[in-house]
Amino acid sequence: MDSFTPQAKHVGFIALIGRPSTGKSTFINRVVGHNLAIVAALPQSTRQRVRGILNTTDAQLIFTDTPGIHSSEKRFNRHLLNQAKLGMEEADVILYLVDVTRKIAEEEMAIATLLKSVSQPVVIALNKTDKAKNFTVDYMLFFNKLFPNKEIFKISAKENMGIHPLLHHLTSLLPVGPMLYPEDIYTDQEPSLRIAEILRKHAILSLKEEIPHALYVKIEDLQMKGARLWVRVALVVERESQKPILIGKGASNLRKIRIASLKELSTVFPYKIDLDIQIKVDKDWRSNEHRLSQILTP
């Protein structure tokens, strides 16, 4: 990272939390203006804390997109919950994003109870309000009872509605201090993680049902060769029977993943990228605590 002269602004970390598929990834991509986090119909597609940086004239807002909070005793879900809690612990402000197209559930009460015990300011934003006006009223009553006198924001991350007032309020809650990143930086993700997440996104989009949850991406080698970045990467599944599904007839699905990934990577990196993609099996990795920690911890 190039050196830069820090300037005093409102600067700080904002953790996005909420149930799976509340639109956290869509929100962070909208605010930052780049596709950092995976947006897919698949719940819990975000597995690690993803940071996106928004620079304005008077602030530097560093958003952390955390995995969706889901009540479950499975090792995989417990690990995702831990990632979300770590994101909250390092934050100056917590942004609780709620999907108002779904009815209020026990998970909402559990998250609200968790937030009552934190020391940081908590901001509540009702997302997808362009789609569900009836549920929006229910959520307003729900949160007004739990958090009296707290301003509740109504937004649509997908339609870019209500975002500016929310950002203005978040900025006012951040401490004033020197900038932590240069103004032209919009993420602090390592190149290997960016590449892995882009490949995982396009693999997820090409598949159905359970296999996306059983998939992870491992960057095995990454080298600059002249003006090109050469990457050897493994798409890893849990079962031998899942390999042909991922590959597709005549390697058609694997080719689809590769083409889509290279197209997006060309918009992220200033140099050409060569992808050597292999398919491997890591049996039952989601049920192995040690493997989960190795694979999913950033």
Q: Which residues are part of a known binding site for GTP?
A: 18-25, 65-69, 127-130
Q: Which two tokens stand for residue 96?
A: 């609780």
Helices (H) and strands (E) in the chain, counts: 9, 10
- Between β-strands 8-17 and 59-65, what pairing exists: parallel, antiparallel or unpaired? parallel
Q: Which two tokens stand for residue 75?
A: 């090792």
| Residues facing residue 93 across a β-bridge | 14
Helix (H) or strand (E) holding 289: helix 289-296
Separation CA 246–CA 236 (nearest Å): 10
Closest Cα to residue 28, out of 85, 66, 83? Answer: 66
Secondary structure (3-state) at 72? coil
- Between β-strands 8-17 and 176-178, what pairing exists: parallel, antiparallel or unpaired? antiparallel
Provide the annotated binding site: 18-25, 65-69, 127-130
Closest Cα to residue 15, out of 63, 51, 80, 58? Answer: 63
Q: Assess contact for 9 and 176: CB atoms under 8 A.
A: yes
| Residues facing residue 99 across a β-bridge | 127
Separation CA 90–CA 64 (nearest Å): 10
In sequence order, the 6+-apart residues with CB closer than 8 A to the CB of 123 are 93, 94, 95, 96, 153, 166, 169, 170, 173
The identity of residue 265, as a single letter, is: L
